[in-house]
Structure 1
Amino acid sequence: MAYPPTRQVAPLCVVAVTALLSGCNLVSPPVVHQGTVLAQGLNGPQGVYVTADGTLWITDSGVGGSGTFTSPGGPGSTEPTINRYGETARLVRVSPSGVTTNVATLTSVVGAEGAEGASRVVELSGTLYVTTGHWGADSSIARLPKTASLLRLDGTTTTEVANLWAYEQGNDPDKQGADSHPYGLAAGPDGKLWVTDAGGNDLLRVDPATGAVTLAAVFDNLPNANPGPGIPPSSQAVPTGIAFLNDGAAYVSLLPGFPFTPGSSKVVRVASDGSKTDYATGLSMTTDLKTGPDGNLYAVQLGQFGEQGPTPGTGSVVRIKAGGVKETVLGGLDTPTGLAFNQNGDAFIAVGGAAAPGTGQVRRWDQLTRKTAITPAALAQPQSTRAEP
């Protein structure tokens, strides 16, 4: 979905946004010579989840479709955006034996920020739930069904649990205009589903039994260090990943919008009373946050942002220890977006999440939680010469 000119670009199609603003063409990423390929040919994979029996679930953005509608133009534009939509987003299952099945299709919209469809998937009490879609005010049609919402998987069909666009439209917690992009999703220790709304800049708690939505926190804009011509004084927080530690607090990764300043991303601790404190700072373009079986947080960084978007091969996974201490454990990734762990500490990572359609993959890195930190010198090596982790 396109943002009105006053809004900052939200997370996950930043490559497409940059290409549109600069007139550049999207470049397919080079092959990542690390990990084991479990799924490929994906169209902007965003989320991964692994069940106890080893089944892998993947959310895919899709490629839009033949339907069209208009919405307000993106940043700096006075012309409306023409969006294309269709049922091309997918929820994909990969069995423990490696058999891939498209279990359900969902709405995919291609607009100013590229394709947006299925976002994240998680299991709660044996049932799978999915965040999907993005919707904003002043579109030329009413909200597409099951867009900007939380869904439940029932066999091979999906049922809407909560219409998060309706909540955003009725409340607009950040007071920056109604805009909802339910993205991050986690099963909380309270038995509720927790959702980060990357468009609404807030953290929501959803009762899976009733669909009731409760506001847990709102994230204020973050100041930019060097505002000036073309650089706004602040950027929207854009919450992405969410995870829990044993203290009962929610930990949320923020990916500030344009100009995507390196080091401006961070992880915020949200206490049960809604109060917020910085837990880890100095991150860059953080797209996901998960708790490993070792009890540490792991953050996914999309990559170093340049004039043509994230530089290929600069994405990474950062281990965040107690006290916010950071160490990179995996580098050389191409626009990684989602992360999951099994109990062995094996990592399942969606790569190519902001790359050309058909180039997305999910790869496995065995026992990543046991890997030692990568030194800055090793991280600086070209991908072709970097040692396997």
Structure 2
Amino acid sequence: MITPAFAAPLAPVTVAKQLDNPRQLGLTTDGTLIIAESGTGGDDCAVVDGDEVCVGTTAAVSVVRRPSKAENVLAERVVTGLLSESGPGGFGATGNDGASARTLDRIFVAKDVDVPDGITGLPEEQEGKLLRAAAGRPPAVVADIRAFETANDPDGQGVESNPYAVLDLGDRVLVADAAGNDILAVDDRGRISVFAVLPHVTGGACDSRPNQGGSFCDPVPTSLTLSRDGDIIVGGLGSLVPGAGRVWELDRRTGAIQQTWTGFTGVTGAAQDQAGNLYVSELFGGANRTGQLVFVPKNGARVVLSVPAPAGVVVDQPGNVYVAVNSMSPGTGTGTPGSDGQVWRLTKRSF
């Protein structure tokens, strides 16, 4: 009897390296890879609630042209001067968590930074806003996401806002407000409307988790991509409760939920390929809680690949999968080789 030979999985390829806390990924219409870098904070520091917070304008939007061929490149920063905050050393920075662009003349950025009281000289007008920029040009405010949350509180759980992911649809821009548990739509005049309020997560540990007078987990949307048929794929952190992470497919026109995938932990990215397969980043997934990418085939069992602290995921037309890696690390790394912020390229044959 002849035993069939099984090909070994294809190892991921490092596309870009030395990135500062890379988060959301996207692709322009011509296939350029968009990378949101949350930066490394800055030189102005203050103590906030007992923790030292350092702020600056180190966040950026970077690009890699022809990413399907690139290996170990330094990404080109096309938008700079964006607010960033972190602890000393630039680890786990918050700032430019989301970026989306159809062309490099129209780049949208979601910002969530609070400049501590007493620190001046920074662009505080960016705080909690949707920004628009073009390559090589400074950003401008498009819409005030925090102000909309303050005035409307769509999920009814009290005012809390964290604009985290963004998706340019051409006729409007979607913004995932992670703390607000909703997806907002911004038109070309900067007017904001509610696209979808995501449902509470119940079942398992969430049924015994006190929350807003009940027992449930917040959905916490952290990622936005297009589905294979042009609808919206949303990833939800699920409050980091094991198994409470969710991925939803929403109708592009109405925001209605069309499909739900369950059983994830800490979703920070989700994308679908043209065959209907799903790729999901789990920030603290895996046996050692160091992170993994989950391959959810259209038909069949899930398979996982160990990926350190993954964030944004996007898939191109040929089926190349790009994932942000070491998403809580500065470009200088954490002291061990390969610990810098990176983007990897892989395919379903990598699992």
What TM-score do the two structures reach when normalised by structure 2?
0.77
Q: 2:149 is paired with a residue of what secondary structure?
A: helix
Corresponding residue number in structure 1 for 2:320: 346
Residues 258-277 of structure 1 correspond to what in structure 2 (within 5 A)? 260-271=240-251, 272-276=253-257
Residues 178-327 of structure 1 correspond to what in structure 2 (within 5 A)? 178-188=159-169, 191-207=171-187, 209-223=188-202, 225-226=204-205, 233-245=215-227, 249-257=231-239, 260-271=240-251, 272-276=253-257, 279-304=260-285, 311-312=289-290, 314-319=291-296, 321=298, 327=302
Distance in 1 between the 2:345 and 2:229 partners?
29
Distance in 1 between the 2:35 and 2:154 partners?
30
Q: Number of paired residues? A: 319
Corresponding residue number in structure 2 for 1:41: 18
Q: 2:42 is paired with a residue of what secondary structure?
A: coil
Distance in 2 between the 1:251 and 1:55 partners?
20
CA contact (8 A) 1:132 1:149 kept: yes
Letter in structure 2 aligned against 1:42: L
Letter in structure 2 aligned against 1:183: Y
Between 113-122 and 142-151, the greater mean CA deviation after superposition: 142-151
Corresponding residue number in structure 1 for 2:102: 124
Distance in 1 between the 2:206 and 2:232 partners?
31
CA contact (8 A) 1:52 1:342 kept: no
CA contact (8 A) 2:202 2:216 kept: yes
1:66 lines up with 2:66 in the alignment? no
Between 138-147 and 179-188, the greater mean CA deviation after superposition: 138-147
Deviations 1:174-218 (A, max 9, x none): 233332222222233x722111111211111111x2111111122
Offset of residue 270 of structure 1: 3.5
Deviations 1:84-141 (A, max 9, x none): 21001111122336563222221001269941111222223664333332257x9747
1:102 lines up with 2:72 in the alignment? no
Q: 1:165 is paired with a residue of what secondary structure?
A: helix
Residues 40-189 of structure 1 correspond to what in structure 2 (within 5 A)? 40-68=17-45, 79=49, 81-96=51-66, 98=73, 100-105=75-80, 106-110=82-86, 114-124=92-102, 127-134=105-112, 140=117, 144-156=124-136, 157-188=138-169
In structure 2, the CA distance between the partners of 1:180 and 1:305, relative to structure 1 (3 Å rule), is farther
Q: 1:200 is paired with a residue of what secondary structure?
A: coil
RMSD, aligned α-carbons: 3.4
Deviations 1:201-256 (A, max 9, x none): 1111111x211111112224434634799976433210112234466653322111
CA contact (8 A) 1:162 1:206 kept: yes
Between 34-43 and 104-113, the greater mean CA deviation after superposition: 104-113
In structure 2, the CA distance between the partners of 1:298 and 1:176, relative to structure 1 (3 Å rule), is same
CA contact (8 A) 1:335 1:352 kept: yes
Distance in 2 between the 1:70 and 1:225 partners?
38
Corresponding residue number in structure 2 for 1:13: none
Distance in 1 between the 2:127 and 2:292 partners?
29
CA contact (8 A) 1:70 1:140 kept: no
In structure 2, the CA distance between the partners of 1:116 and 1:127, relative to structure 1 (3 Å rule), is same
In structure 2, the CA distance between the partners of 1:166 and 1:70, relative to structure 1 (3 Å rule), is farther
Offset of residue 277 of structure 1: 6.0
In structure 2, the CA distance between the partners of 1:280 and 1:110, relative to structure 1 (3 Å rule), is same
Offset of residue 80 of structure 1: 5.6
CA contact (8 A) 2:272 2:278 kept: yes
Identity %: 26
Offset of residue 69 of structure 1: 5.6
Distance in 2 between the 1:270 and 1:149 partners?
24
Distance in 2 between the 1:174 and 1:111 partners?
30
Letter in structure 2 aligned against 1:118: N
In structure 2, the CA distance between the partners of 1:217 and 1:320, relative to structure 1 (3 Å rule), is farther
Instruction: List alignment gaps of at least 5 residues for structure 1.
Output: 1-32, 72-78, 372-387
Letter in structure 1 aligned against 2:110: T
CA contact (8 A) 2:129 2:146 kept: yes
Q: 2:281 is paired with a residue of what secondary structure?
A: strand
Letter in structure 2 aligned against 1:351: V
Distance in 1 between the 2:186 and 2:301 partners?
31
What TM-score do the two structures reach when normalised by structure 1?
0.70
Letter in structure 2 aligned against 1:47: Q
Distance in 1 between the 2:207 and 2:194 partners?
34
Corresponding residue number in structure 2 for 1:334: 308
